[in-house]
Chain A
Amino acid sequence: MAGHDTETDPNARWLSVPGQAPVLVAAAVFVMLWQALPAVSAGEALRFAWDWVPSLGISLSFLIDGLSLTFGLLISGIGALVFLYASKYLQGHPHFARFMLFLTLFMLAMLGLVLADNLLTLFVFWELTTITSYLLIGFDHSTSKARRSALQALLLTGAGALALLAGIVLIGTAAGTFELSEIRAQGDVLQEHALYLPILILVLIGAFTKSAQFPLHFWLPNAMAAPTPVSAYLHSATMVKAGVYLLARMHPNLGGTDVWLWTLTIFGAVTAVFASVMALKQTDLKQALAYTTLMALGTLTLFLAADIGYAITAAMTFLVVHSLYKAALFLVVGIIDHGTGSRDVYELGGLARAMPITAAAAGIAALSMAGFPPFIGFISKEIKYAGALAVQSEPYLVAGAALLANALMVAVAGIVSFSPFWRRPHLAEKLSPHEAPWQMWVGPAILASLGAFFGIFPDSLAVALVNPGVAAILGPDVDPAALKLWAGINVPLLLSIATFAMGITIYIYRRPLRDRLIAMGERAISFDRGWDHVLDGLKAVAAWQTRLIQSGVMRQYLFITFATLFVGVGGTILARGGFSVDLAWPDLLLKHWVVIVLVVAGALVTLTTSSRIAAIAGLGAVGIGVALIFIIFGAPDVAITQLLVETLVVVLFGVAALKLPRLDPSGRKTHRPLDAALAVGVGVVITGVMLMVTAGPLDRRLTDYFEATSWPEAFGRNIVNVILVDFRALDTFGEIAVVVIAALGAYALLKGRSPEEKQ
């Protein structure tokens, strides 16, 4: 057995903490959720809540009902198997521990997402899955393809999440609460609300980007740049279903309207058919599976459009069935890739002899995917046809889309799991295939066997997960459809037979069809390339506005800053009725005159001198004049600070001035007149503002408060200092943090130059 050598190897990675701990965590979660199964199957909903940010109505509340439990069991159960698989798949990888950490974090975030009862909590976990997905897609960060795919997924799903957040906030204002269980208890309050349409559009944007509905689908096939365990777990079994979960969760609150029905029907049907055609076109096994995942997401959306028992039963059943067989097939493709080094359908063949267990698991999973009896995929397909024929929108459209998608699924199932294993060997010898260690085949084997088990005993699945799930979406009064292997000769059975016939025909003629599709694809619009154009355009705009505003010339920065001040303040004052100041000449004492003379003389020196040192000394004199004003009016702290800062500025500038060129005399003619005009303008505006401010009565409430409380409450008599370090300590902390950051930034600029530049 291939697993033997790893068990004796003391360095085997899967025996290490990062190899084992995630498996144990996932298994423990699975067991915990399993214990809730009897209660939930009996129709109960368990709720746990802790306050988080009570002032904003955010609580850490979790709800375990049929829907969230189904998702939770899939996430933790498949998670345990995928983690076990990954511990072997990435054995010896230098960032193995990091990978397992990301995967575990993702699992916890995903569990939080599906169990959350508070919409804002749900959103936090939603974003956490986006971020962990970004890290996992970009795990192989040395390749530009992985980086691009990771960023694309992050930007698209992140933008969708922003729309979702806006939708959640609107729901909160419309319903008055963020708790899903409370919103649900209110009945049709959202559907009848004036904001229904904006809410629906925003929530759907969030769900459709996350679940990769056409035309926002293209990030998902690209996300296959991630290692296979990630593709199996995030981008097939769990994360991409978050959008579907949201649709199911919001179904009672937003569903049941014509807009909901038609939007979901059209987007779901287009995605399902488009994706299954695209799946046929792929020659890379992983890409083919990625498009079948898109097809599954489209189908789930399609069935969630309706609000009848049959359609929702079909959605819930297919959700479980798809997760089982798709995760198994992804893991199988990973084993093929691992064992042969290739995923290309043209290169692979005859692997069944070398990989018997994998071949068996792949075969069972694929039969379930193609919908052959007695597997659960067959039952799921029958229910889908029954549900399609019962929908209120357009039964023929839905059934036709389902038929076409299912027939293509049969063909893709053959391509993915029949031809690599059983077709006449081609290059099998060159690729030297070998069976995977047990940690890798046990996952696909269990998942595939479950597909067979549920097919033979469909009641176990129905009672445990599907019926409670349907009840969670439609309420306990609606009867879910029964899952039966033999339902008699009826329309769904005839449609099934038609599906097999079409699917097998497509499989036989797959090569000419694929060539035709590839030829057509070259002429069609590529959404992926369109995305590049959007990003390029964004970067071009950013570069253009940076060139415009960030010229790199100090004088222009200052000019723009002061011009903005002048226009902003002056414009506001003009718009509000202009200046209204009583110019009464105050009685000035000698000390006031001294200050005035000092400030005016300093300003004149600064303006007229041709020496930088004289100019900065002149400015220093102005500053000292201002400090004197503070002293005269009784603010010694401010005055001391002002004096010290002025002193230090002059000293620092004196050091730097040695290296600066002399003032440019040509400026007197070119830009100085304009600068002078702006300076006078700013001066007039600020003076006017100061006069207007001091003309009004002084509001002494704050001053009185601080005077009264400074000593009794903060034990300090210097009010300025008490405010700085006690009453407003948080503000001061923010300010000193800015001081440190500014100093480090300037230090990097001064020290960052290369030695040649310094000379």
Chain B
Amino acid sequence: MNSIILLAATRLLVPLLLVFSFYMLLRGHNTPGGGFIGGLIGATGFVVYAIACGTDLARQALRVPPEKVAMVGLGIALFAGVMAAFFGDIFFTGQWLFIGETEDDKGLPLSSVLIFDIGVYLVVLGSILTLAFALEEGV
């Protein structure tokens, strides 16, 4: 689509959307957001880019085929669930590690729940882009 307005807007919007999608992913546990919403925003960024510059450039920017992104995401989510088994807990029990924990501050929380959310993010991003790219190329 040869639209100068769209191209100019894209240059500004896409990086913002991608950074914002990560932000939404990471803050999701305590405030509105999460892997699903983050994935949707990230996908919107790539879809906008594909409409403005064509799917070839969008695929190059993604570097990995979107269907692989989705499947790797599913694998990561499964891994997050299986992790519990290594600590002797039931499948999908959240595992937490608090770095620099003090009396009244939890420090930097790392968890299998976050890994699971990253899996969800990649699944949503990959699945939507699989569809969107195929649709645009097919039309």
Q: Which residues from chain A sit less than 8 Å from chain B, CB to CB?
A: 636-637, 640-641, 644-645, 647-648, 651-652, 655-656, 658-659, 714-718, 720-722, 724-726, 729-730, 732-733, 736-737, 739-740, 742-744, 746-747, 750-751, 753, 758
**Chain A contacts for B58, CB-based, 8 A:** none
Q: Is the CB of A744 within 8 A of B130?
A: yes
A743-B30 in contact given A656-B135, A729-B92 (Cβ < 8 Å): no
Q: Is the CB of A648 within 8 A of B138?
A: no
The distance from the CB of B107 to the nearest CB of chain A, in whole angstroms, is: 11
A721-B109 in contact given A729-B92, A750-B134 (Cβ < 8 Å): no
Can you name 28 A-B residue pairings with CB atoms under 8 Å? A640-B32, A640-B37, A641-B36, A644-B44, A655-B132, A655-B135, A715-B29, A715-B96, A715-B109, A717-B30, A717-B31, A721-B33, A725-B120, A729-B92, A729-B116, A730-B92, A732-B120, A733-B78, A733-B92, A733-B116, A736-B124, A739-B127, A740-B126, A743-B70, A744-B67, A746-B130, A747-B134, A758-B138
**Chain A contacts for B113, CB-based, 8 A:** 714, 716, 725-726, 729
Partner of A721, one of B29, B41, B124: B29
Top 6 A-B pairs, shortest CB-CB distance: A743-B127, A644-B40, A636-B32, A716-B29, A750-B134, A717-B30
**Chain B contacts for A658, CB-based, 8 A:** 139
Q: Is the CB of A648 within 8 A of B37?
A: no
For the complex, give the distance between the alpha carbons of A334 and B48 in Å.
68
**Chain B contacts for A644, CB-based, 8 A:** 37, 40-41, 44
For the complex, give the distance between the alpha carbons of A722 and B74 in Å.
19
The distance from the CB of A755 to the nearest CB of chain B, in whole angstroms, is: 11
Q: Is the CB of B116 within 8 A of A652?
A: no
Q: Is the CB of B132 within 8 A of A740?
A: no
Q: Is the CB of B44 within 8 A of A647?
A: yes
Q: Is the CB of A637 within 8 A of B30?
A: no
The distance from the CB of B95 to the nearest CB of chain A, in whole angstroms, is: 11
The distance from the CB of A481 to the nearest CB of chain B, in whole angstroms, is: 56
**Chain A contacts for B134, CB-based, 8 A:** 746-747, 750-751
Q: Which residues from chain B sit less than 8 Å from chain A, CB to CB?
A: 28-37, 40-41, 43-44, 47-48, 51, 67, 70-71, 73-74, 77-78, 80-81, 91-92, 94, 96, 106, 109, 111, 113, 116-117, 119-120, 123-124, 126-128, 130-132, 134-136, 138-139
**Chain B contacts for A637, CB-based, 8 A:** 32-34, 37
For the complex, give the distance between the alpha carbons of A647 and B13 in Å.
15
Other 14 A-B pairs with CB < 8 A, given A651-B48, A736-B124: A637-B34, A644-B40, A644-B41, A652-B47, A658-B139, A717-B30, A718-B32, A721-B33, A721-B34, A726-B94, A732-B77, A732-B120, A740-B126, A743-B130
The distance from the CB of B118 to the nearest CB of chain A, in whole angstroms, is: 10
For the complex, give the distance between the alpha carbons of A744 and B113 in Å.
26
Q: What DSSP secondary structure best describes chain B's contact surface? A: helix
Interface centre among B37, B119, B128 (most CB of A within 10 A): B37
The distance from the CB of B72 to the nearest CB of chain A, in whole angstroms, is: 10
**Chain B contacts for A652, CB-based, 8 A:** 47, 131-132, 135
Q: Is the CB of A750 within 8 A of B29?
A: no
Closest to A711 in B: B30
Q: Is the CB of B40 within 8 A of A641?
A: yes
The distance from the CB of B35 to the nearest CB of chain A, in whole angstroms, is: 7
Q: Is the CB of B119 within 8 A of A736?
A: yes
The distance from the CB of A728 to the nearest CB of chain B, in whole angstroms, is: 9
Q: Is the CB of B130 within 8 A of A648?
A: no
**Count of A-B contacts judged by CB separation below 8 Å:** 143
A718-B44 in contact given A729-B81, A729-B92, A740-B123 (Cβ < 8 Å): no
For the complex, give the distance between the alpha carbons of A260 and B44 in Å.
70
The distance from the CB of B45 to the nearest CB of chain A, in whole angstroms, is: 11
For the complex, give the distance between the alpha carbons of A721 and B36 in Å.
9
Q: Is the CB of B41 within 8 A of A747?
A: no
Closest to B109 in A: A715
A718-B34 in contact given A648-B43, A648-B44, A730-B92 (Cβ < 8 Å): yes
**Chain B contacts for A751, CB-based, 8 A:** 134, 138
For the complex, give the distance between the alpha carbons of A717 and B138 in Å.
43
For the complex, give the distance between the alpha carbons of A721 and B32 in Å.
8
For the complex, give the distance between the alpha carbons of A720 and B136 in Å.
34
Closest to A641 in B: B37
**Chain A contacts for B109, CB-based, 8 A:** 715
For the complex, give the distance between the alpha carbons of A715 and B130 in Å.
34
The distance from the CB of A612 to the nearest CB of chain B, in whole angstroms, is: 14
**Chain A contacts for B29, CB-based, 8 A:** 715-718, 721-722, 725
Closest to B128 in A: A648
A736-B120 in contact given A715-B96, A747-B67, A758-B138 (Cβ < 8 Å): yes
For the complex, give the distance between the alpha carbons of A656 and B34 in Å.
29
Closest to A753 in B: B138
For the complex, give the distance between the alpha carbons of A718 and B37 in Å.
13
The distance from the CB of B80 to the nearest CB of chain A, in whole angstroms, is: 8
Q: Is the CB of A736 within 8 A of B136?
A: no
The distance from the CB of A586 to the nearest CB of chain B, in whole angstroms, is: 27
Q: Is the CB of B77 within 8 A of A736?
A: yes
**Chain B contacts for A647, CB-based, 8 A:** 44
Interface centre among A721, A730, A751 (most CB of B within 10 A): A721
Q: Is the CB of A733 within 8 A of B34?
A: no
**Chain B contacts for A743, CB-based, 8 A:** 67, 70, 126-128, 130-131
For the complex, give the distance between the alpha carbons of A648 and B45 in Å.
10
Q: Is the CB of B128 within 8 A of A718?
A: no
Q: Is the CB of A740 within 8 A of B91?
A: no
A716-B30 in contact given A651-B51, A726-B113, A739-B124 (Cβ < 8 Å): yes
**Chain A contacts for B43, CB-based, 8 A:** 648
For the complex, give the distance between the alpha carbons of A383 and B36 in Å.
74
The distance from the CB of A77 to the nearest CB of chain B, in whole angstroms, is: 40
Q: Is the CB of A740 within 8 A of B74?
A: yes
The distance from the CB of B105 to the nearest CB of chain A, in whole angstroms, is: 13
For the complex, give the distance between the alpha carbons of A730 and B116 in Å.
10
**Chain A contacts for B123, CB-based, 8 A:** 736, 739-740
**Chain A contacts for B94, CB-based, 8 A:** 714, 726, 729
For the complex, give the distance between the alpha carbons of A750 and B139 in Å.
10
Closest to B30 in A: A717
Q: Is the CB of B70 within 8 A of A715?
A: no
A718-B30 in contact given A648-B40, A743-B126 (Cβ < 8 Å): yes
**Chain B contacts for A729, CB-based, 8 A:** 80-81, 92, 94, 113, 116
A737-B40 in contact given A718-B33, A725-B113, A725-B116 (Cβ < 8 Å): no
Q: Is the CB of A725 within 8 A of B139?
A: no
The distance from the CB of A620 to the nearest CB of chain B, in whole angstroms, is: 14
**Chain A contacts for B136, CB-based, 8 A:** 655
**Chain A contacts for B51, CB-based, 8 A:** 651, 655
Q: Is the CB of A718 within 8 A of B31?
A: yes
For the complex, give the distance between the alpha carbons of A742 and B131 in Å.
9
Q: Is the CB of A733 within 8 A of B81?
A: yes
Closest to A744 in B: B67
For the complex, give the distance between the alpha carbons of A733 and B35 in Å.
12
